[in-house]
Amino acid sequence: MKKIILYLGLASIGGMIAGAILLVFAIIIATPNLPSLEAVTDYQPKVPLRIYSADEEMIGEFGEERRNVTPIAKFPDALKKAVLSIEDDRFYEHHGVDFQGVARAALVNLGGGMSQGASTITMQVARNFFLSNEKTLTRKLYEILLAWKIEQNLSKDKILELYMNQIYLGQRSYGFASAARIYFGKNVNELSIAESAMLAGLPKAPSAYNPVVNFRRAKIRQEYILQRMRDLKYISSNDYAEAMLEELLVKGLGKEFNVRADYVAEYARQLLVTMYGENVYVQGLKVYTTVKKAHQEAAYQAVRKGILDYDLKHGYRGPEGFVEIPNAAFDSKQMKRALDEALISHPSSDEIQSGVVLEASSSELKVFISSGEMVSIKGAGLSFVKEALSSSAQPKLRIKKGSIVRVMPSSNNTFQIVQMPEVESALISLNPQTGAILAMSGGFDFRRGQFNHAMQAQRQPGSSFKPFIYAAALEKGIMPRTLVNDAYLSIGGAETGSKPWEPKNYDGKTEGLMTVRAALARSKNLATVRIIRAIGPVYAQGFIQKFGFEAEKHPPYLTLALGAGSSTPLQMAVGYSIFANGGYGVEPYLISRIVDMRGKIIFEASPQAVGDESLRVLDERTAFVADSLLQEVTRSGTAASARVKLGRTDIAGKTGTTNDAHDAWFAGYHPKVSVVVWMGFDKPRSLGSNETGGGLSLPVWINYMTRALADAPDMPRVKPAGVEWED
């Protein structure tokens, strides 16, 4: 027996010696093959492209990895201690591998306590930067050796800094600074102890402990981390108690930025890719645009309101879909799954949520909405769909149990039934002195359609194009008091280049002789056609190119006078800027400066300033008189409501409505802001027999200008030499 024991003992010792020899041999072989530490000594992380407003509010972020590289000194102490408490509480004591921690983790895991890992923070850095996640002895050996090598070359604080910037934390966020912004909408230095503990729980399993999608599980882990922090004396008992009771406000998955500027951010992204190529998504560039937060928010809200107001006037088109409601309790898993699955293909659009009708009568609807609430809608909230609640309603219109509908908040914490609109609109706002884009809304909802109507929609401008023809007439010597006949007109095919044409005024009436000033103010088509006949359409086509319009988009026919060509809202805003600034050409631009990851400015815009006579495209006298004609439109013409509602005398502009009301425009300005609004359908069709630019787009313009000009002083025009006022 003694011999057997001795034999076994010697065998064990021999095995240990052999294992040690093999381990040393493996280390000798592996060490020369360890990768260079350049990836950590010269840290060059993938940092996304970030787009900012002129006020330095982030409006967009593009890249696979959301990361905001932060020095270790900028991380709050509570966050660092929360991370250490759960990941490696002996980090500042070991040399890369914590053998004491390995033994402790093994005992805890065998004893059935909360699972603990044995990897130190340094080992995790080695794995994250250099190795795969495969679980093999070879990889573990390389991980240990790399950890030792890293510890020999970097300080503890530098290693912790690398870890806290590189680790993946869910929602495409890498590093704790990015996670603080994504999960709590805060800068990392603003995190509380409770929030720090919540984020510290993410590295182990970012999906499982994501507080947005699994708050209960994330909360359990947070509480365990707070307990660890208390036990390790990282926080006091009072701090622990307060953190345990703190209500955590986790951001949802919807609104990512405080400024709604998706179309702006996307246009900036396109410009950056053109400038720097596809690598722009990982270089950490910060792009500062010319867009102002207040202007952009005003544009977003004005366009949304204008579209919804139009939609509510033109009738309910019926529910978006229908779902069979299971015969189960409202709070059952079966019911919740059925409702969630029904709404997943009907995403919210800002304040407009989708919902499933669970109970329906002619006086009340009970709707489960996508935010998870059950809401009761009655009274005024049902006025839009009153006919659809009738038992005699057409099947496609009727709202009943199982109907998928849209709701939006109303007054006094109530909801109203609405629908996702089909019509589109756009608003573009420029500084006419520099060409800087101040605001841009390219449509109702960027997520349902990324086509930017402000930049890309080539539409007939209708009567909003007339001022450019009138400016051409002024250059030819026609004066504001010149008389022009507003009478019936028949034009032969030889002159039109096509079929005979009998233009008509919008209301079908004529007024006879009137001044040029009155003809523009009242948007008289017949008078305007006579004006372009007098100056010649070929001359007019050449003249409008001064304003930046493309000749091929505006053929030299008499119909040019009525805006039968095609222009984008941006082109119109540039053209109207020339009236606003006294006759100077401006080049629209969006990007004011670009800063690299190290804070160096690598691009800065240098717009040419108005006042440089080399930029003049319109005689200052012509520009002044044209401006006075456009002021008359807001004084006594088709846009008189703008002056009344804004209470200003320094605004000017022109309404525009195309044939069959396919497009509705208003283009107008103040000396500091040139703004164009368009409304129409993507597949052109009539907006309605009584709809006009003055009725649809002008209210959007007024809504925007109310905020854009809130602090702007009144700016009367200065009459240039060579201009005399009319009697």
Hey, which residues are catalytic here? Answer: 87, 463
DSSP-assigned letter for residue 409: E
Residue 167 CA to residue 176 CA, distance in Å, equals 8
Residue 546 CA to residue 618 CA, distance in Å, equals 8
Say if residues 399 and 365 touch (Cβ distance below 8 Å).
yes
Residue 697 CA to residue 394 CA, distance in Å, equals 32
* DSSP assignment string, 466-500: HHHHHHHHHHTT--TT-EEEE----B-HHHHTSS-
In this structure, what are the phi and psi dihedrals at residue 677, rounded to the nearest 5 degrees? -125, 135
Residue 56 CA to residue 72 CA, distance in Å, equals 24
Residue 230 CA to residue 17 CA, distance in Å, equals 43
Single-letter amino acid code for the residue at 264: V
* DSSP assignment string, 168-205: B-STTEESHHHHHHHHHSS-GGG--HHHHHHHHTTTT-
Residue 234 CA to residue 193 CA, distance in Å, equals 11
Single-letter amino acid code for the residue at 376: S
In angstroms, the first-to-last Cα distance of the chain is 132
Describe the strand order of the beta sheet including 286-289 as a list of residue ranges. Answer: 58-62, 49-52, 286-289, 591-595, 601-604
Residue 725 CA to residue 715 CA, distance in Å, equals 18
- What does the buried/exposed string (b/e) look like for 685-697 if buried means 16 or more CB atoms within 10 Å of the residue's CB? eebeeebbbbbbb
Please name the residue ranges forming H helices in 344-462.
Answer: 453-456
The pair of structure tokens assigned to 300 is: 């977003």
The pair of structure tokens assigned to 684 is: 């052109």
Residue 53 CA to residue 60 CA, distance in Å, equals 9
55 SS3 class:
coil
Say if residues 326 and 402 touch (Cβ distance below 8 Å).
no
In this structure, what are the phi and psi dihedrals at residue 595, rounded to the nearest 5 degrees? -120, 135
Instruction: For residue 448, give every residue at least 6 positions away whose Cβ sits within 8 Å of its Cβ, in sequence order, or none.
Output: 349, 420
3-class SS letters over 326-351? CCCCCCCHHHHHHHHHHHCCCCCECC
